[in-house]
Amino acid sequence: MRLKQLFAGLALGSLLAAAAPAHAEGTIRIAEQYGLGYLPLHVIRQHGLIEKHGKAEGIDISVEWVKLSGGAAMNDALLSGSIDLGSAGVGPLLTIWDRTHGNANVKAIAALNTMPLFLTTTNPAVKTIKDFTDKDKIALPAPKVGIQARILQMAAEQAFGENKYDILDKHTVALPHPDATAALLAGSTDITANLGSPPFQYQQLQDPKIHKVLSSYDVFGGPHTFNLIWTREAYRKDSPKTYKAFLAALREAMDLISADPKAAADIYQAQNKGSLDRALLDRLLADPEIKFTTQPRGLEKFGAFMFKVGAIKHPVTSWKDVFFEDVYAGGGN
């Protein structure tokens, strides 16, 4: 797939006006990002679960996998028709859901996990987010729009006061999780902090020069969904058997992770070329704060915050507003 297809340089508003090309039943192109949050997709790919469930539906499915970094790139690729399913955090989902009312009608298929996000730093003077100065740069995958950016804004409003949610935005820079982790571990003077994700934040904290400033669970008041996967209404409508096969594959992957975390760890290492210490990986998969589930948690609270600060124009009255009906029965909030 050509890079220019994914990054056409078009504004999101322009993409909304363009109709994404239709695709025949039996084809699915899925984009993922970096990190443990995408383990269910790794399991699907490793075991060929979409192809398996496609055969149960009586079709052969061609599956293409793409790796992108950041929710904005994910949404641009989805709306330009370069991919069929995009995956990222809650912030990018709510952004694309809000902006596609009445046209592409993008909604979530399912959540992928519930995970905490840590703000870490190499600056020993930073004990709370009030301690950051102009000398600090906080790496995020998608400044101002990604889930890490929204968590930082929530934390800023709690620390600095009402309507001061964006006071730390000037300190943020765009950097994928692996690069941000490498920068912190190398003692970079350009990047002094990172609001990341598993497993990278845990790798960072193994270095005594790096410490945790906060957890998103503390900011949020409890566990919340980190990653989800979504698509355009037209794809779900035009490729019902392929869509059904993907959802069945996702549910089977969740069951496999829950039933056999060791096998899931094997798959993560195989898909990521053994880049993570096995003992740490096993510990993370046993961590009660980390869960793989299709049901969302905290979506309504994220929606309320983004609506309040003007990031979305449509209020989220229920998590069901943002999801296709396939996962309604499992509950959420």
Verify that 129 and 98 share a domain, yes or no.
no
Verify that 97 and 12 share a domain, yes or no.
yes
pLDDT in tens, 277-326: 899 999 999 999 999 999 999 999 999 999 999 999 999 999 999 999 99
State the pTM of this model.
Answer: 0.87
Verify that 106 and 232 share a domain, yes or no.
yes
Verify that 12 and 107 share a domain, yes or no.
yes
When pLDDT is cut at 50, 70 and 90, the band that residue 72 belongs to is confident
Verify that 8 and 110 share a domain, yes or no.
yes
Distance separating alpha carbons of residues 218 and 87, to the nearest angstrom:
24
pLDDT in tens, 234-278: 999 999 999 999 999 999 999 999 999 999 999 999 988 766 889
When pLDDT is cut at 50, 70 and 90, the band that residue 142 belongs to is confident
Q: Which of 202, 220, 238 is the last residue of a domain?
A: 220
Mean pLDDT (the chain) is: 91
Task: Give the pLDDT score at 18.
Answer: 42
Nearest to 126 by CA among 95, 87, 168: 168
Task: Give the pLDDT score at 2.
Answer: 40
What's 132's domain CATH number?
3.40.190.10
Nearest to 91 by CA among 108, 68, 66: 108
Q: Which of 220, 252, 277 is the last residue of a domain?
A: 220
User: Given the DSSP bridges, would you call strands 62-67 and 27-32 parallel, antiparallel or unpaired?
Assistant: parallel
Distance separating alpha carbons of residues 117 and 27, to the nearest angstrom:
34
Distance separating alpha carbons of residues 143 and 147, to the nearest angstrom:
9
DSSP state of 69: -
Number of domains comprising the chain: 2
For the record, the structure tokens of 200 come out as 């990278």
Give yes or no for a contact between 54 and 242, defined as CB atoms under 8 angstroms apart. Answer: yes
Q: Which of 220, 245, 270 is the last residue of a domain?
A: 220
- Helices marked H in 36-161: 39-47, 49-56, 71-80, 90-99, 147-160
What domain range is 187 assigned to? Answer: 118-220
Verify that 23 and 106 share a domain, yes or no.
yes
